[in-house]
Chain A
Amino acid sequence: MSISGETAPLPRWDGMSDLDKGAALMHLHKREYEGAEYAVEKYPARYFEHPGLAALDWRRASEHAASLIDDAEALAPEEHERLYNAALDADDTRWHAEHQADAAGGES
């Protein structure tokens, strides 16, 4: 949300970074195999880089990712795998960083 109250448009596929594309792919994978409801509850999209995407709450982020299904399906398998794996690694790194920070906070 801008200071004027206007909402900046969220980037679509072509305007997204590789990591954010991968984050969308991870969520779409879960939707395909686990169902939309379960995927949103357990594996919501969590973007990494674009401030507007990263600031979305889990439900809106998942809706955004779901809207990219056509772009995801148009990817070559090799490119899909590259983006997906990059985001998977980043997600693991983020999880460990967040939980190390939580643990450090709990010890202080």
Chain B
Amino acid sequence: MSDIGKVRLRLPSRIAAGDVVRARCLVIHPMERVERDRAGRMVDRKYRYIDRVTVTYLGRTVASFDTTQSVSENPVLAFTFTATGPGPLAVTFHDTHGATYEGRAEVRLG
């Protein structure tokens, strides 16, 4: 679990100006499932899972996700953005325990 919060953000190797680019992002996270006791009742505690993901490109939010415990452990998310210029792409994950994890990539045109 020491890798928790590690983010890998992947972009295509070549991006031209104006391309609609597909990016893929993986984050290491347990996305805790609801537990049940022997009687089948839900164990009431504050489960730790990612509930919000935002994608910014050149400082603008291009997409975001609200996520629930029905998303897998170590989630993979993919999205698109229009490459209008060189600059940073950032994906930020927030979990229910208040932790924030970020993956960044530099968009280079050519």
Binding partners A and B:
no
